[in-house]
Amino acid sequence: MLTRIITAVVLIGATLAWLFFANFEIFAIGALFIYAVGAYEMGPLLGYKSRIPFLAVAVIVLSLIFALVEPGSFIGIGVPPLAQYVVAAGLIVWVGSIPLLLKYPNNTAWHKNIVFNTIIALLMMVPFIIGLLILRASEYGSDPKAGGFLVLSVMALVWCADSGAYFAGRFFGKHKMLPNVSPKKTLEGLIGGIVTALIGLYIFIELGWFGQYAINEGALYAASILTIVFSVIGDLVESMLKRLANIKDSGTIFPGHGGMLDRIDSQLAAIPVFLTSLYIFSGVLF
């Protein structure tokens, strides 16, 4: 327990420093570290015998995308449409994973196709990091910390949802959501998580943390609800992959808390879903 607490305190401090005291370049390096460690841990979940092959593929693919969208230009020039579509591509895996979750464990033949698994994992990882950089670059010229509050707000939506789901599920949970994938998750917990996160959303808007993204509050609320729901799907997908690979934790980088993927599984879905939903509801993407 003490190890878990110490690790949690260090993680919170490091995250806040990364969001608010690092410039965009250092933030990007931190995001790349998260991406690389996540990709390193992902290999065994996909059926690779070694962690290196998928890491190499993930680095090559991201390098090619960086050559096309140039994240450094997000601050001065703005976010190019291609970067927005890369983020939107993440919806493919999260929407497509729903039938896989519903059919688990009766239909798992797809997991034997390593090419298919690799595409799924890339669609989980790449839109996440591009979305993270887009959020952090928001309003950077006028206020270097504005994007930090924006990233924190989206992440905090997930944390609020997790906390609300835990307590609602513990005290009111009766109807299991997907017991074969995650036995403890309930529909009551999901509802409690959504309600808690919406309360958090209202507070974050009042504090001004969403910046220009709060101009269209209707789109923001709709996008946030989808973000909360899909963050649960992100958690469930990682749980399903770990069960298929017979792995308890994705890694051991965080003592008492498992691996990087164990910490960001919900965020992998939340970040791209949040941005893509806002793009769609605001008429930016289509």
Per-residue pLDDT at 173: 86
In whole angstroms, what is the distance from residue 30 CA to residue 34 CA? 6
Residue ranges of the chain with pLDDT lower than 50?
Answer: none
Print burial letters for 212-222: b (CB count within 10 Å at least 16), e (below 16). ebbeeeebbbe
Cis peptide before 105 (omega within 30 of 0): yes
Structural domain includes residue 286: no
Inside any domain, residue 194: yes
In a domain, 271, yes or no: yes
pLDDT on residue 1 = 67
Rounded mean pLDDT of the chain? 93
Query: Which residue has tokens 């997991």?
Result: 111
Q: What's residue 118's pLDDT? A: 97
Please check whether residue 27 is in contact with residue 18, taking contact to mean a CB–CB distance below 8 angstroms: yes
User: How many domains does the chain contain in total?
Assistant: 1
**Among positive and negative, which fits the CA dihedral 178, 179, 183, 189?**
positive
**Segments forming the whole domain that contains residue 102:** 2-71+80-281
pLDDT in tens, 263-286: 999 999 999 999 999 999 987 776
Residue 8: the pLDDT is 82
CB–CB of 60/122 below 8 Å?
no
